[in-house]
Amino acid sequence: MSEKIRNFKDLDIWKLAKEIVLDIYKETNNFPKTEVFALSSQIRRASISIPSNIAEGFNRYYNKEYKQFLYISLGSCAEIETQIEICYELKYISFNFYDMILEKTDHLSGMIRNLIKKL
């Protein structure tokens, strides 16, 4: 028997999105100091936007509003993919991190799309 989803914290997409945020925050701690207010800050904001919008959308009354917040989360996933590409090309991150975070982000994007279809 499946558990009842009572809170956004029960959502697997929110859990994975939060995991991505933590991964990105840990990795960007190693970025050059010149990137503190640039790429590091931008990728952190994009990552935190994903679980934040999932949570906010979940607490909206209408599915139409929830979908809009999920679409914003999808946009932030695309931002992360772009920024990770740049980070890798600048040699700020290893191939292992690059590959892992892109795989997680791609999986999360698919989960979000599936939820949008179900709403």
**Does residue 2 form part of some domain?**
no
Number of domains into which the chain is organized: 1
Separation between Cα atoms, residue 46 and residue 83, nearest integer Å: 9
What was the pLDDT predicted at 36?
Answer: 86
**Does residue 4 form part of some domain?**
no
CATH code of the domain in which 100 resides: 1.20.1440.60
**Does residue 3 form part of some domain?**
no
**Does residue 1 form part of some domain?**
no
CA distances from 32 to 28, 56, 100 (A): 9, 33, 21
What was the pLDDT predicted at 1?
Answer: 44
**Does residue 17 form part of some domain?**
yes
Residue with tokens 């934040």: 52
Tens of pLDDT, residues 43-70:
999 999 999 999 999 999 899 999 999 9
**Does residue 45 form part of some domain?**
yes
Separation between Cα atoms, residue 116 and residue 113, nearest integer Å: 5
For the chain, list residues with pLDDT below 70. 1-3
Q: Structural domain of residue 52, as residue ranges?
A: 9-118
pTM recorded for the entire structure? 0.94
98 within 8 A of 88, measured Cβ to Cβ: yes
What was the pLDDT predicted at 10?
Answer: 94
Give the chain's mean pLDDT.
95
What was the pLDDT predicted at 2?
Answer: 56
Separation between Cα atoms, residue 104 and residue 35, nearest integer Å: 24
Q: How many of the other CB atoms lie within 10 Å of CB of 86?
A: 13
**Does residue 90 form part of some domain?**
yes
**Does residue 108 form part of some domain?**
yes
What was the pLDDT predicted at 95?
Answer: 98
76 within 8 A of 58, measured Cβ to Cβ: no
